[in-house]
Each structure stands twice: as structure tokens, then as C-alpha cells.
Amino acid sequence: MNTANPYAPPRSNVSDVKESNDELELAGRGIRLGAAIVDGLLFSFLVIVPLVAGVMLSFYDNDGGPGAAIAWLFFVGGTILYAWFNILYVVRNGQSIAKKWLGIKVVRTDGSPASLGRIFWLRNVVNQVLAQLVPFYGIVDALLIFSDSRQCVHDKIADTVVVLA
């Protein structure tokens, strides 16, 4: 009898799914430091330098020249540009500008994508508030990168890890 039994239960080939945590390769400490430095330099160049120039030119440009207005325009434009690309990359793949350039990203510890809110509020805002309130918090936060999990305090707060993209 070679005909299929119409009353037989359905069959399918099932393969084991690899645990997503096994696929995550943690980013190295050096590349994370490099990304932090590059992000800091970008922020300084696009936002801080035009802000300082705008403030200085506003105080010292008494003849009403265009220098201060141009500096303020660069400050506003640089802030918008920096925020736009950071938000775009974080929403798409959990990356800042430098993390995208260097091929690393932020994910949840289970390997799922980290949301913009989690990265912004828990990794950044809460971290900055703690840095202002708790003495030596910044040093402790940075030194925890040397743990086996390579998670700083802000990573532990947000339940995130930085992995190769």
C-alpha cells in the first residue's frame, strides 16, 4: 500500500535552533574605547566647537558682524546632524555613528535588539545622572569593562552587551 494515509498526523523535519547567545561575539575593549573616543570627537567637532565659537563671537563681536550668527547656525546644524544620525543608527541596529563605522552594536543580553528607549534612557540618561550623583561612579563604570562579561555598569543597568555587528 503506497498511498498516503489521509488520517495520519502531519510530519515535518525539525532542526534544533541554536541558542542566540552562543552566536554573540562580544566586542573587544579596545574597539569599544575607540568608538567612545570617535563619538566624543564627533560630538565635540559638530556641537561643542560651534557652541563655544558662537558664545565667544556673541560676546566679542560688537560691530554686528555675521560671525556669531554663522557659528550659531553651525551649532544648530551640527546638533541636528549628530542627533539625526545617532537616532537613525540606534533605531536601525543599536549603533551610534562610531559603532557603525567600527562594526559593533548594542543588543540585549539575550541577543534581541535593544530599543532606542533602552539605549537612550537606561544606558545614557540614568548613567549620566548616576555619574553626577555618585562619587567615582564614572571610574567604576569604565573599569567594569574588564570583567568576564565585558559589561560596564550602564550595560548591566540596561541589560545590554556590545557585540560585533
Place of cell 556590545: 162
Cβ distance 22 to 110 under 8 Å? no
Cβ distance 153 to 129 under 8 Å? no
One pLDDT digit (tens) per residue for the chain, 165 residues: 578 888 888 888 876 655 555 578 999 999 999 999 999 999 999 999 999 998 888 888 777 678 888 989 999 999 999 999 999 999 999 999 999 999 999 999 999 999 999 999 999 999 999 999 999 999 999 999 999 999 999 999 999 999 999
pTM score: 0.81
| Residue boundaries of the structural domains of the chain | 25-164
